[in-house]
Amino acid sequence: MRKRLVVIGNGMAPGRALERLFEAAPDAYDVTIFNAEPRVNYDRIMLSPVLSGEKSYEDIIIHDDAWYTSNNVRLLQGKRVTEIDREAKRVTAADGTTADYDKLIIATGSNPFIIPVPGHQLPGVLAYRDLDDVEKMLHGAKTGGRAVVIGGGLLGLEAAAGLKMQGMDVTVLHIMPTLMERQLDPSAGYLLEKAVEDRGIEVICKANTKEILGVDKVEGVKLDDGRIIDATMVVMAVGIRPSVQLAKDAGLTVNRGIVVDDGMRTSDPDIYAVGECVEHDGMVYGLVAPLYEMAAVLADRLVEGAREYKGSQTSTKLKVTGIDLFSAGDFAEADDREEIVLRDAASGVYKRLVLKDNKILGVVLYGDTADGAWYFQMMKDGADIGELRDTLIFGQAFAGASPLDPTAAVAALPADAEICGCNGVCKGRIETAITDKNLKNVDDVRTHTKASASCGSCTGLVEQLLKLTLGDAYNPAGVAAMCKCTDLGHSDVRRLIVAKGLKSIPAVMQELQWKTANGCAKCRPALNYYLVADWPGEYVDDEQSRFINERVHANIQKDGTYSVVPRMWGGVTSSDELRAIADVVDKYEIPTVKVTGGQRIDMLGVKKEDLPAVWADLGKAGFVSGHAYAKGLRTVKTCVGSDWCRFGTQDSTGLGIKLERFLWGAWTPAKVKLAVSGCPRNCAEATCKDIGVVCVDSGYEIHFAGAAGLDIKGTEILCSVPTEAEAIEYIAALTQMYREQGHYLERIYKWAKRIGYDTVRNQIVHDAEKRQGYFERFQHAQKFAQDDPWAARAAKTGGHATEFTPLAEIGTAFPKPEMMEPAE
């Protein structure tokens, strides 16, 4: 019979230990896991990107259901162990579930510390530890207001940045004079404070919370100097305490944490402990890297190995995008220590090394953290830096061969240099994996070695290792580059724009190291779209990065004239509108008038100079631009529906008009066309549109991802909803999801195929909160999008006012009046 292994807690530490165990001996144990959290093992350190919206829960799952099944692990979700009976070798959960063990692992992690000030139990006072906390924060953020984050350490700042990105006003209260004082010296703390304030987050240092105010829920925070800060949410991020009660009750030796030996064994030889709940050699750890080292030792011990855990040195990185900060070791000042400091105020860089006897004791890097791994490695190795001392502060590139080539720095690292701190992966292991397993890109390396799979801050180093190992065969990320101006693909560019908070085309090109001075006709329109979509109301549209059609709000024709298509809401018109069109056609001698395939009227052959006047006349008759030229909402075709048709089940015309009025003006990755049919006979051809609605007796069947242009493809069904209001909400949410994720020029059917139809359904149909989020972001963006560009142009308030007239007209009689002196 196989031995029974029971695990209490399903966090990152035991998860890693089990992975290692199954690699070494897949059949050694029957494993049962009790987890108080009702979910699988996920990457806790990535909660901050989930809070900020940069990632979703699905993105941060470490072990999905399939992993537990294929490894025969019984995972008991939502079951908290309340008792360990060491005599009977049995654990019991709160609901009475029991499990017998041969070996037991305690991995209960930590509990967030809540300062017991008056009011700390009010609804709205949150900790920051697990997904439930994040969900509560996201929920609270929806109603806006001010969040007060108590604690200016790593967690507190990440929470503050996330809540800010969710649209809340945020104040950080920190009891010490500078932020993150445990990891940073005061200078770096000051730079950090400025950077945090630059993001619109208020920071109050030396703030001692006296009381949390409120009757039924949080209303404010009172400091001991009497100041009161209004708040709709309070997040306490003031520290953690190892979760040891269970072990204590079972009579195991416990100090601050559960005491273990070098083999991760507690005072009971059949019970091990791993993770944040552990105390080893007087130390308790709160970062993943040391826990993973423990996990490796534990896995080895479970198969009778003899590996020993000897404690860890840790380094910290703050995961607030746009703020680069690294610290490791001890940087207190003392008489026998020297320090080297580099400040570059212009570029916001601060570096400090603390040395003793020619060895690095501590490192603080702010603004430029590229050399963090290098210093950290020398610090851990206790390397003598005597020879490097003069140039040490300038980093590895300077000390190594060629300061210009970043790969040279990585090439110079020894094989046992740690690349990924979170997962303890060294350079040699990555290189071997790349050659042996024929890995091609960062994702492959992540899958096979876990390097850069956690916090991601070593992604750059992994890329350089790929470059180094594969040479020219390395194609970054294995995806097609956007264009010749960059090696990055569309997905990466989109992600980085949001992650780094890039808000202009020059900023993108600077930060993402564009290879050309101002891009090309492929990347500029794409970047302009991404910025418009990601920063509504903030980004100022760059006219010169739009194709001529979007720049002059009309479609260029083969002879250089333009076509003008006014909006005809839902394909419905009137005698007045038709008369106005007729008048315009006569007045400007427009050669061709044609009914389009999109249920409206096209005036073709308009001279560029006439456009503003044509628009002015159309505008007087109530027309707005039809965006026939736009990567944006085109038409919403409708059929006559229940108003007239004997088969019509719902008011398809009315819904089409409502949809068009709601969606018009929205910029999208590629054009978006809708149609609403009144019954399944589908006269509006809704089932080959980007988004379609087929009305039925019970409501509205929503379709998406159809195509009838270059490709022909019937739609997929999204879902059915009973009311018009829901149909509009779902469709707007879907449009927003596409706006946020689509690659420029990628129609909905291509995008949905790329990310998976079910992903779309999961987020729009099955996850009400996600849908709400998309819907609200869409509504917000529309506030800035629904301006008729024709009206603006006719009134000379939009664009380059003189766009439509020639710079000069020169008659036949040369030379003209203002001639210069002939240049010989």
Partner 1 sequence: MTTFIKVGKVSDIPVLGARCVKTPAGTIGVFRTADDQIFAIENRCPHKGGPLSEGIVHGTSVTCPLHNTVVSLTTGLVEGPDGGGVVTIPVEVVDGEIHLDLGRLPVREVA
Ligand X SMILES: Cc1cc2nc3c(=O)[nH]c(=O)nc-3n(C[C@H](O)[C@H](O)[C@H](O)COP(=O)(O)OP(=O)(O)OC[C@H]3O[C@@H](n4cnc5c(N)ncnc54)[C@H](O)[C@@H]3O)c2cc1C
Nearest residue (CB) to ligand SRM, 333 versus 559? 559
Cβ pair 360, 352 in contact under 8 A: no
Smallest Cα–Cα separation from 764: which of 728, 713, 723, 714? 728
Calpha distance 235→147 (Å, rounded): 7
CB atoms inside a 10 Å sphere around CB 373: 26
Binding mask 734-773 for ligand SRM (x = CB under 6 A): -------------x--------------------------
Residue listed under structure tokens 């953290």: 369
Q: Give DSSP secondary structure letters for 135-200.
A: HHHHHHHHT--EEEEE--SHHHHHHHHHHHHTT-EEEEE-SSSSTTTTTS-HHHHHHHHHHHHHTT
Smallest Cα–Cα separation from 39: which of 72, 16, 62, 71? 62
Name the segment binding ligand SRM (CB under 6 A); options: 192-200, 206-214, 429-437, 703-711. 703-711
597 binds, among ligand SF4, ligand X, ligand SRM, none (CB under 5 to 8 A by kind): ligand SRM
Cβ pair 706, 682 in contact under 8 A: no
Nearest residue (CB) to partner 1, 401 versus 480? 480
513 in contact with partner 1 (CB under 8 A): no
Cβ pair 197, 203 in contact under 8 A: yes
Residue listed under structure tokens 């070695």: 449
Calpha distance 376→395 (Å, rounded): 12
Binding mask 641-680 for ligand SRM (x = CB under 6 A): --------------------------------x-------
275 in contact with ligand X (CB under 6 A): yes
319 binds, among ligand X, ligand SRM, partner 1, none (CB under 5 to 8 A by kind): ligand X
Name the segment binding partner 1 (CB under 8 A); options: 551-559, 564-572, 688-696, 758-766. 551-559
In the chain, the largest separation of any two C-alpha atoms, in whole Å, equals 111
635 in contact with ligand SRM (CB under 6 A): yes
Give φ, ψ of 77 to 5 degrees. -85, 145
Nearest residue (CB) to partner 1, 506 versus 714? 506
638 in contact with ligand SRM (CB under 6 A): no
647 in contact with ligand SF4 (CB under 6 A): yes
In the range 502-531, which residues lie near ligand SRM by CB under 6 A? none
Nearest residue (CB) to ligand SRM, 486 versus 625? 625
Q: Evaluate the omega torsion of the peptide bond into residue 506 and state whether it is cis, within 30 degrees of 0.
A: no
Structure tokens at 159: 């929470």
Q: Give DSSP secondary structure letters for 29-73.
A: EEEEEEESSSS--B-GGGHHHHHHTSS-GGGGBSS-HHHHHHTTE
Cβ pair 538, 503 in contact under 8 A: yes
Give φ, ψ of 362 to 5 degrees. -155, 155
Strands (DSSP E) contained in 394-509 are 418-420, 425-426
Binding mask 43-82 for ligand X (x = CB under 6 A): -xx-xx-------------------------------xx-
Which residue lies nearest ligand SRM, judged by its C-beta? 709
Identify the residue among 536, 678, 692, 706 touching ligand SF4 (CB under 6 A).
Answer: 678
Calpha distance 257→274 (Å, rounded): 10
Smallest Cα–Cα separation from 300: which of 24, 5, 16, 8? 24
820 binds, among ligand SRM, partner 1, ligand X, none (CB under 5 to 8 A by kind): partner 1
**What SS3 class is residue 433?**
helix
640 in contact with ligand SF4 (CB under 6 A): yes
Structure tokens at 127: 């900790």
Name the segment binding ligand SF4 (CB under 6 A); options: 278-286, 324-332, 504-512, 641-649. 641-649
In the range 776-805, which residues lie near partner 1 by CB under 8 A? 800, 802-803
- As a residue count, the chain comes to 824
524 in contact with partner 1 (CB under 8 A): yes
520 in contact with partner 1 (CB under 8 A): yes
291 binds, among partner 1, ligand SRM, ligand X, none (CB under 5 to 8 A by kind): ligand X
**What SS3 class is residue 676?**
strand
Cα end-to-end span (Å), the chain: 103
Nearest residue (CB) to ligand SF4, 166 versus 650? 650
Nearest residue (CB) to ligand SRM, 254 versus 693? 693
Calpha distance 715→705 (Å, rounded): 5
In the range 309-338, which residues lie near ligand X by CB under 6 A? 319
Name the segment binding ligand X (CB under 6 A); options: 105-113, 360-368, 647-655, 810-818. 105-113
Name the segment binding ligand SF4 (CB under 6 A); options: 45-53, 160-168, 676-684, 773-781. 676-684
HEC secondary structure over 516-579: CCCCCCCHHHHHHHHHHHHCCCCCCCCHHHCCHHHHHCCEECCCCCEEECECCHHHCCCHHHHH
709 in contact with ligand SRM (CB under 6 A): yes
Identify the residue among 69, 208, 516, 592 touching partner 1 (CB under 8 A).
Answer: 516
593 in contact with ligand SRM (CB under 6 A): no
640 binds, among ligand X, ligand SF4, partner 1, none (CB under 5 to 8 A by kind): ligand SF4
683 binds, among ligand SF4, ligand X, ligand SRM, none (CB under 5 to 8 A by kind): ligand SF4
Identify the residue among 110, 171, 464, 677 touching ligand SF4 (CB under 6 A).
Answer: 677
594 in contact with ligand SRM (CB under 6 A): yes
CB atoms inside a 10 Å sphere around CB 129: 18
Nearest residue (CB) to ligand X, 151 versus 798? 151
Identify the residue among 69, 70, 313, 518 touching partner 1 (CB under 8 A).
Answer: 518
Q: Where along the sequence are the contacts to ligand SRM (CB under 6 A)?
A: 555, 557, 563, 565, 594, 596-598, 600, 602, 628, 634-635, 673, 707-711, 747
Q: Where along the sequence are the contacts to ligand X (CB under 6 A)?
A: 8-14, 34-37, 44-45, 47-48, 80-81, 107-110, 128-129, 155, 158, 243, 246, 275-276, 286-289, 291, 319, 422, 455
